[in-house]
Every structure is written in structure tokens, then in C-alpha cells.
Amino acid sequence: MSATHEPNRFTVVAEDLKFPEGPVWLPDGTVLCVEIAAGTLTAIERGGRRRVVAKLGGGPNGAALGPDGACYVCNNGGFNWAVRDGRLVTAGIADDYKGGSIQRVDLATGRFETLYSSADGNDLRGPNDLVFDAHGGFYFTDAGKLRGRAMDRGSVFYARADGSMIREIVPSMAIPNGVGLSPDGRTLYVAETETARLWAWPVTAPGELERLPWHVSPCGGRLVYTAPSFTRYDSLKVEAGGNICLATLDIGAVTVVSPDGRLVEQPRVECGDTHCTNLCFGDADLQTAWLTLSHTGKLVTGRWNRPGLQLVG
């Protein structure tokens, strides 16, 4: 039965971060996260001590460990920023915006390179989040950019970690954000931010999706779940049992949905921020969650009701 549970107990690990996102748990207990407004990839130890791993510039957004042990980062190219009611918020496309990219960071040295900045002859606009499969490739979303009243149509891409191949596999989505794979790797999930919709496609081969016809689905995906009232979905992670965990904006929660589209629970994150943007799982049992609260610049942690999925890399 679906339920809205009492607030989970979360502890603040770090604060005063510059719009954190993309948390990645490392086996030594360190959590990596990007600071979008600072343009950095940052390492945070359990006690809160932090260090800058790499100054990436632009707008580093989603992050994931690759099969080679490097950290791969979706860089959205950057935003302008404003402070509203004491909270850091995006304020349109950066004045120095030059495009989006996928970056590879050597965690031992902090050296980084741009792996991709275009696909099929088109520049990447605002890469947002990514997930690796078991074949050495990764799926990533490009949310596009907003320019006043104009908005890019977003896309989903598949690329190889060695820089040898990238291609668009789902065109024309409304700000695609979180992306994840089912535990067996046979289903790709993508969350749209502004529509608060979760979509799914069968994976038939690495980077190959089975798509529904356009008159059935605007993006070729199966509609898994949509919010019953106004909110927006940001990034997502998948639990070991297959549930999809959607970081949920505007209400400061994580919406947990079953693969067949049932609301499992919607635990609130009562840490003074309605902008819960991402999460990751860690510890030996993968049942500790780390969440980014971006408006107030916090990384928080707490025990989760079920274990998360062990990610590739």
C-alpha cells in the first residue's frame, strides 16, 4: 500500500555548499558531490571535512563513477545565480555560457578532460545526469537551457566511456533530468522535471531502446508515474529491489515509485530546504542515503528503509 511516511531522520554532514548535486559514495566513506555554482567537484568526508577535487568550470551537474575508477560529470555549461529569501537559486543561462559537455575526472590527480561536447553534429546544451550500464557505456540526459521565454527540447543520449561513440537515443523531452537503470539493466528510467513524469523504455541492447509510437507516447516511453499535484522531479536513483527514488522539488521529499507505477512512500526531508535534488546510497549494506539540498547548500545523510542498487563502477 502506498503511504506518506513520517519524516526520515537526516543529519547534516556539510553545509554552505554552492548548490550541491550529483552525490557519489566512495568505499572509504567519502562522498563526492558537485557544486554547480562553484564549478567544482568536491569530496566530503563523514566528519564534514571537504576538499576540491577539480575545478571544472561551467555547471557540473550529475556525476558517476565509471568502470575505470574515474568520475564522469555532466556539465550543463553554467547558470547565472541569485539569492531569493536567503536561498541560492538559478537565474537563467550563464553570461559566459559556451555549451555543455561530458567531463572525465581522474580522482587521484584532479586532472580532467572533456570527453564529449557534441553529438550527431549538434552541440550538447545542458547535460544533467548519467548512469553507467554493465557494458562500459552510459546513458545521460540533456535538459537543454532556458532563455527567457524560449526553452530547448531535451534529449537522452548513450555514449561510451572511452570517448569513441555518442548518439541521441530519445529526442524531444520536456527537461529530462534523472536517469537510471533497473537492477537487471533491461529498463531505462528518465524523470522529466517540469511535467513531474517518470518514463521507462525496454533496453534491447546497449544504447538501444524499444520505443512506443509517437501517437501513444510523445517520447516513446511508457508512462510509469506522474505526480498527482504540483511538484517537480529532479534526479533519481534505483533501489536494489527495483523501486525508483525521485528527488522531489518544491516539497523537500523523495518520491519512491514501484516499477509498475505505484507510490510506495514519499518521505520528507525536514532539513529546512524544499529543493531536494539528488541522492545516493552507500555503506556496506547500501542502506544509508546521502541527499543534496541545493537551495541551502547542504549534504545530509540518514538510514533508508531499503537498500539501494549497487551501481556499475
pLDDT digits (tens, 9 = 90+) for 194-232: 999 999 999 999 999 999 998 999 999 999 999 999 999
Residue 1 has pLDDT above 50, yes or no: no
Q: How far apart are CA 198 and CA 79, in angstroms?
A: 25
Give 106-158 pLDDT, tens digit per residue.
Answer: 999 999 999 999 999 999 999 999 999 999 999 999 999 988 888 899 999 99
pLDDT-based confidence at residue 8 (cuts at 50, 70, 90): low
Mean pLDDT value of segment 25-31: 96
Closest of 310, 304, 189 to residue 258, by C-alpha: 189
Three-state DSSP class for 191? strand
CA distances to 30, 56, 78, 165, 180 from 81, in Å: 28, 17, 9, 34, 28
Task: Give the tens place of pLDDT for each residue, 273-284.
Answer: 999 999 999 999
Indicate the pTM of the whole model. Answer: 0.96
**Which string of b and e fits 42-61 if b means at least 16 CB within 10 Å?**
bbbeeeeebeebbebbbbbb
Spatial distance between the Cα atoms of 215 and 194, rounded to a whole number of angstroms: 21
For the chain, which domains are there?
A: 11-303 (2.120.10.30)
Predicted pLDDT at 47:
83
- What local confidence, expressed as pLDDT, does residue 313 receive? 72
Cα torsion 303, 265, 201, 197: sign: negative
Of 10, 8, 27, the C-alpha closest to 311 is: 27
Region 91-110: mean pLDDT is 96
* Residue 7 pLDDT > 70: no
CB 17 within 8 A of CB 298: yes
Specify the residue for cell string 512512500: 265
